[in-house]
Amino acid sequence: MVRSSLAGTGTGLMSWTRRIGITMRDVLLPPRCLACGVLVQADSGVCAQCWSTLTWIGEPFCPRCALPFDVDTGTTAVCASCLRSPPPYGRARSALVYDTAARPLVLGLKQGDRTDFAPALARWMAHAGADILATADALVPVPLHPRRRFHRRFNQAGLLAAHVAQVVGRRVWPDVLCRTRACIAQSSLPRQRREANVKGAFRVDDRKSSRLAGRRVVLIDDVLTTGATAAECGRSLLDAGVAAVDVLTLARTAMTQA
C-alpha cells in the first residue's frame, strides 16, 4: 500500500516536472508549424492549412502494404501487387502519402538536420500504426551504413523509432540489424533496380539474434517506396527467428509497388 502510494507520488511528481518543462519550453520556444513556420498549438505538428495539404492515409487501403484504395470494396482484399508478389512482412502502415506536401517534412528530417521534427512525425506514425504496434514486442529501425551515418550524424529511422517507442511504450532494438555494405541511395535508382541494390545488404547481428526468437517486431523507416528495403530487412529478421515482421513508415508512395 505504502509502496504503491509512494510510486503514485513519484509518478505524479514526474508528470508535474515534465509538464512544467514542456510549458517552459513552449514559452521560450513556442511550437511552430513544421511545414510553414507559423505558430501552432503545442503537439499539433503542422497548422490547419498545412494539415489539409497533406494526404493522410486512412481506410480504405490494402491491408498488407497500406496502398490507398480509391474505392472501399468493403472486403479485406489486398492490392494487385501484394496478390502477385506477397511481401515477406505481414502488414505495412504509413501515416502519409509521399507527395509534394510530405516531401519537405521527410527531407527536412533526413537531409536538413531538422531532428526537432521527429516527435510530431512519430506521433502521426504511432496513430497510423496503432494496430501493428499493439502486437509488437519491439521496434527495429532500418539501419544506415556506418559511413553514411557518420556523415549524417544520426539515423532518421532510428530517431523516429525512438520517438514512436516513447509514444506507445515499446522497446527499440536499434542494433540488431546491420548493413553489410553501402548501397546506392534507393531514391536515385529506377524502381526495377532497387531490389537488386539492397539484395543481401542487411544481416542480423549474431550477438543479438538470441533476443529475436519468437518475437514480433515492427520495422521502422521514413519512406516506403517499392518496399524493396523493407522486404530485404524483413527476410533477414525472419531468417533470424523473428515470429512476425510488420512495417511502419512515416510516408509511402501512392503508386503500386514494383
Q: Rule CB under 5 A: which residues touch Zn ion? A: 33, 35-36, 47, 50, 62, 64-65, 67, 78-79, 82
Q: Which is nearer to Zn ion, 82 or 128 (CB)?
A: 82
- Secondary structure string (H, E, C) spanning 86-151: CCCCCCEEEEEECCCCCHHHHHHHHCCCCHHHHHHHHHHHHHHCHHHHHCCCEEEECCCCHHHHHH
Whichever of 62 and 204 has its CB closer to Zn ion, that residue is: 62
Closest distance of CB 202 from Zn ion, Å: 22
Minimum distance from residue 164 beta carbon to Zn ion (Å) = 22
Nearer to Zn ion, 33 or 142 (CB): 33
Q: Compute the least distance from the CB of residue 97 to Zn ion, in Å.
A: 14
Euclidean distance between the first and the last CA atom of the chain, given in angstroms as a whole number: 59
Task: State which residue, 32 or 148, has the beta carbon closest to Zn ion.
Answer: 32
Shortest Cβ 181–Zn ion spacing (Å): 29
204 and 177 Cβ atoms separated by less than 8 Å: yes
User: Shortest distance, CB of residue 211 to Zn ion, whole angstroms?
Assistant: 30
Edge-to-edge, what's the strand order for the sheet holding 216-224? 92-97, 244-252, 216-224, 138-141, 171-172
Looking at beta carbons only, is 93 or 215 nearer to Zn ion? 93
